Structure 1
Amino acid sequence: MTDQSEAASTPLALTSVVASGLPTELGKPTAAKYYDVPAVFNRRPDAAEMAGLRGADGHAQLVTAGYPDVTLDVQDRRLVIGNTNLG
């Protein structure tokens, strides 16, 4: 669990992409156009933050920004951004 004081005092942010979680074909002509991109949070998200990322409101913001097919899933201290690419 996230310490409540940590969640309240430290804004949730992404720190890096997990290169080992990217497709091995990346950069090759056979690479898929879209794939999952795992990224690391600076801390463990709390329950409300996870609900916001996974829920309808989070998806509505992606749609408004022009990314209707992108998905978000929280897995421990990682955000898995689905159906996207590094571009």
Structure 2
Amino acid sequence: FYEELIKVANSPEFRKKLQPYDQLFPKLTNLTGRDINSLADASLLYHALMAESSMGLELPAWTKDIFPDGKLLELATLDYEMNNYNDNLRKLFT
């Protein structure tokens, strides 16, 4: 699974999709204090914030620009897209 996922992640087509978010990964790392280096990391952050939000917890002010709609949702969506990018990944992911 991971070998196929790495192939997709490194493909020119997918790299082009990720390029607009290159500056967001280090920004998220700085804001969260955790390494956010991949789509999976960003997706986990999105879902953690969604869980906190659904519990009525107050989210940090920096989340307002990127969550629940915005760049972080876009990254989480790209994570799903990458995991289901082709037939091989769909078979391996399920």
Which protein has the bigger strand share?
1
TM-score normalised by the shorter chain: which range applies? under 0.3
Q: Whose helix fraction is larger, Structure 1's or Structure 2's?
A: 2
**TM value normalised by structure 2:** 0.25
TM-score (norm 1): 0.26
